[in-house]
Structure 1
Amino acid sequence: MRSGFGRRLEVLRLALLVLAVSFVGSGTAAAKGDWGPERAYLSEYTDLKAEALGLASVEEHLARMAKDLGAEGAKRPTRNLTLLDLALKAGGVAELVHTVTPQEVKRLSGRLEEPDARNLVVAKNLGWVGDEKAWTSGTAVSSREAARLLYRVIELADGGARALGRSDDPDIYGRIQSAWDSFRLFDGGGLFTLGVRAIAEGASTGYNIKSDVYDVRFASPYTLQYGHSDIRHAKQLIALLNGKGLVAKVALEPKTSSYRYLLEWGPVPEPSRYYRVDKVREDLYLASALEYDLKLEFRSVKEKDAFDALVRTYAKKSDANPDGKGLLHGAWWQPLYTSRTPMGDGYREVVENVVRSQAGGGYRIHAFVLKEEERRFRKAFLALDPSLEIAVRPLWCNEAFHRYLKGEHQ
């Protein structure tokens, strides 16, 4: 831990997480053959469930997307070519066909009508099509290949998973830094007042606020969320994954963590883009700190499972190593990482409460509590405002943080 004021900030950040912790790059980012995360994404974020990913359902979904952009699909000589035509229109890139040259068309392996040839060239340039012969043959492509096309169209159309890239991309560190540099403290509009009341009246020791604008859409079965405040730590963690052969999509979500500031800790510091203290009343000061949730979507559940051992070995302080010697920069006593789907050894089930108010304006409070404390939390917040919407769902956190929630120091 840091010394002095920094040490106190870290302790308080951990304290506020008892009741308030956030819950939980390109269309070809997934490695070839990694179908699981793409299928899980479509099942989680579209109306297409895994068992319904057929050619007809994919075509219907692409047609709806195209229509939303004011484009109508055209029936082509084969269903494959119809899918490609719809894909370009659904992705909002149909105009690119006018940039295709005769030389590019001639390099295609099959003979197609000019509109279809242009569509295929653009689809190849976008990385949507691997084996062009599969798409130009009279035999329909597999449902898996069609669903992958849909996934890539969604990625282009609205950002899809909204990843910064993959952990093994040499440029990922710059993208992480750029994302972090763009973040600023936010108080959540009307939720700030609610949070102040919650602290003042003892309903919470602190709270985290996140914004809908920054939501990442990773496939939950393959994803872990890792919370921290030091961006240098995040970059070292990504390098650790690479060194150990684990690959994941990477994204950052900002969060504001607020908690009661006690004057006995020392003079109120000057505000910065990372931290500020507000005087609410004579006996109540509120500290707000900019932090992040690092989202990691692994290629497989096996790689997701391997993450816990890495953190326990290289990013967790302990009584045996209280100074963090040999650990990643900014290692915590109770590192926090969570999964929205059940995990085995090394994880414990807890409860996540997502609190929204009519005055929230796209912001929400996230509260993370032990299962036996969920009813007390809900009752305390509804006493502050009966109109609050509180969504409750299970979450699986690492054992170190679960022990902390029970009052154990490590």
Structure 2
Amino acid sequence: MMNVRNKWILSGSLALSLLFSAALPLSAAQAAATPTVLQSSTTSITEYEQFLQEKFGIAFQQGTVTKGQFLQQIAKVLHLGDAKSQPVFSDLGADSPYYSSAAALYEQGIITSLKIEADKPLQATSALYIAVKAAGLAELAHSYPQSKTTDALKQIGYSPAGLSLSAAQELAAAVHSGLLPSSFYKEVKGKAASADLAEALLVQILSIKGEYKHYIGYTSDADIYGKLADAYNTSDIIQSPELQTVVDTALKQNLVTGYNLKDNRFDANFVDSLTLTYGHDNLKHAVQLIGLLRSEGIRAKVQFEPKTSAFIYLKEWGEPVQTENYKVVQIENGNYIAYAKEYDLKFEFANAADKARFQPVILQYAKKNSEDQTGLIASSWWQPLYYSATKLDDYIQITNNKITGAGHYYAQSFSLNEPSAAIAEGFKKLGTGLDIQSYPIWVDKPFFNYLNGESL
């Protein structure tokens, strides 16, 4: 809706805040965007390390991993709090740094023995028994008949002889489910778990539970355009009545000039240091943007996050034309609140250098500077919007005021730094039970100028 967006830019009240963000029910296309269980490689091991470090502060030292350390990190990625009961372990006192993790895992049935052996090296088989239950695969494992179990164990050089039935089944399920990546098959029998295996299991647990990265594919995938079209075409204008009551009131009171609604079930969960978010409203633009990145040799993961942009449509702009992707509701003063279907594309780049290369590409091929400009991809904006959660050269810091209501929906208000406190305080007065967080993000200069009411 570029014509409407330009009117919004010219409306003159951009000094405080513009965009917000909250949601849609999951479509089949987006449900399919959850990544499959990964097969480990040198590249993915590095990726696992970075993900665990940035998201959880987990970093195993190369060399021996103790069972206690592994239990501690399992409890962390599962977000387990203190156990309600206080189990008495035979070899682990309540003053141990591993006690609370072991107690929480014991309460959940992820460990079943009262003998912990926390300071001993973690055995690969022990790590797998724990990981199967932590990933929620116990019932699958215990459904295995003998023949299926034996066939799976052959792949890791094991015979079920000498193993209990449940132990053999759990190892088999780890193989078949992909919980144990194939690159680690030779590291299981009779061996201690390496730091790489421990990290891979943590990530695979998260992946199986749907809590790792979410993306529809890579820019380099042959089918990425079809997946992008499916994601766009199955998204709709987002409805979150309870949250919209609050943010629409903010619009009417001129606390903000616009907001976006999003749903956290679509969040990519990428590593911040390698990620950029790019906002737009046009599918053709998104398709050409992917093609542009491919032509520049930039390979990145891609997640499509639907959003709805809401803003004041002034009555002097004329009678608004409503479509499936653009709705308006008239308010008391004769103006309208307009709701437009948009999206964010999240890109996780292979490295920091590729992330830095993104901006020069956009400024050359997707930033409009004159009405008659040629050589741009379709529907390029005067003020493209893309931002990073981490500091970048030639980007400018602003504030994101994220507002979370009940359920999966949230709003995020982009503002200049100075008025952010007043905006957050204003939202606190408009609704109860809202979680409001303010934190810095770094945006492209044209969008920063946009927030300042400048034309370019």
Question: In the comparison of the two structures, how many residue pairs are matched?
Answer: 398
Which residue of structure 2 aligns with residue 38 of structure 1? 48
Q: 2:151 aligns with which of 100, 104, 126?
A: 104
* Secondary structure, counterpart of 1:83 in structure 2: helix
Which residue of structure 2 aligns with residue 353 of structure 1? 401
Which residue of structure 2 aligns with residue 302 of structure 1? 353
* Secondary structure, counterpart of 2:330 in structure 1: strand
Superposition TM-score, scaled by structure 2 size: 0.76
* 1:335 alignment partner AA: P
Deviation at 1:167, TM superposition (A): 2.6
Q: Give the stretch that moved more between structures: 262-271 or 379-388.
A: 379-388
Q: Is residue 247–residue 299 contact of structure 1 (8 Å, CA) maintained in 2?
A: yes
Which residue of structure 2 aligns with residue 181 of structure 1? 233
Aligned residue runs from structure 1 range 214-293, under 5 A: 214-272=266-324, 274-293=325-344
Are 1:372 and 2:423 an aligned pair? no
Q: Is residue 337–residue 397 contact of structure 1 (8 Å, CA) maintained in 2?
A: yes
Instruction: Map Cα deviations across residues 188-215 of structure 1 (whole Å, 9 max, x no partner).
Output: 2222222232222221111112223333
Deviation at 1:392, TM superposition (A): 0.8
Task: Indicate the structure (1 or 2) with the bigger Cα radius of gyration.
Answer: 2
In 2 relative to 1, CA 51–82 (structure 1 residues): closer, same or farther, beyond 3 Å? closer
* 1:141 alignment partner AA: A
Q: Is residue 125–residue 189 contact of structure 2 (8 Å, CA) maintained in 1?
A: no
Deviation at 1:126, TM superposition (A): 4.2
Q: Give the stretch that moved more between structures: 117-126 or 140-149.
A: 117-126
* Secondary structure, counterpart of 1:33 in structure 2: helix
Deviation at 1:348, TM superposition (A): 1.1
In 2 relative to 1, CA 192–70 (structure 1 residues): closer, same or farther, beyond 3 Å? same
* 2:338 alignment partner AA: A
Which residue of structure 1 aligns with residue 18 of structure 2? 20
User: Structure 1: how far apart are the matches of 2:195 and 2:299?
Assistant: 26
In 2 relative to 1, CA 140–241 (structure 1 residues): closer, same or farther, beyond 3 Å? farther
Deviation at 1:226, TM superposition (A): 0.9
User: Structure 1: how far apart are the matches of 2:355 and 2:21?
Assistant: 17
* Secondary structure, counterpart of 2:418 in structure 1: helix
Which residue of structure 2 aligns with residue 339 of structure 1? 388
Which residue of structure 1 aligns with residue 70 of structure 2? 58
Instruction: Map Cα deviations across residues 274-331 of structure 1 (whole Å, 9 max, x no partner).
Output: 1100122252311001111111112222221221122112211113xx3452222221
* 1:50 alignment partner AA: A
Deviation at 1:350, TM superposition (A): 0.9
Which residue of structure 1 aligns with residue 98 of structure 2? none
* 1:27 alignment partner AA: V
% identical equivalent positions: 29
Aligned residue runs from structure 1 range 82-101, under 5 A: 82-94=126-138, 95=140, 98=144, 101=148
Are 1:395 and 2:405 an aligned pair? no
Deviation at 1:393, TM superposition (A): 0.4
User: Structure 2: how far apart are the matches of 1:305 and 1:26?
Assistant: 28
5+ unaligned residues in a row in structure 2: which ranges? 23-34, 79-104
User: Structure 2: how far apart are the matches of 1:382 and 1:251?
Assistant: 31
In 2 relative to 1, CA 106–290 (structure 1 residues): closer, same or farther, beyond 3 Å? closer
Deviation at 1:397, TM superposition (A): 0.9
Q: Is residue 400–residue 441 contact of structure 2 (8 Å, CA) maintained in 1?
A: yes
* Secondary structure, counterpart of 1:281 in structure 2: coil
User: Structure 1: how far apart are the matches of 2:41 and 2:350?
Assistant: 8
User: Structure 2: how far apart are the matches of 1:323 and 1:89?
Assistant: 61
RMSD: 3.4
Which residue of structure 2 aligns with residue 3 of structure 1? none
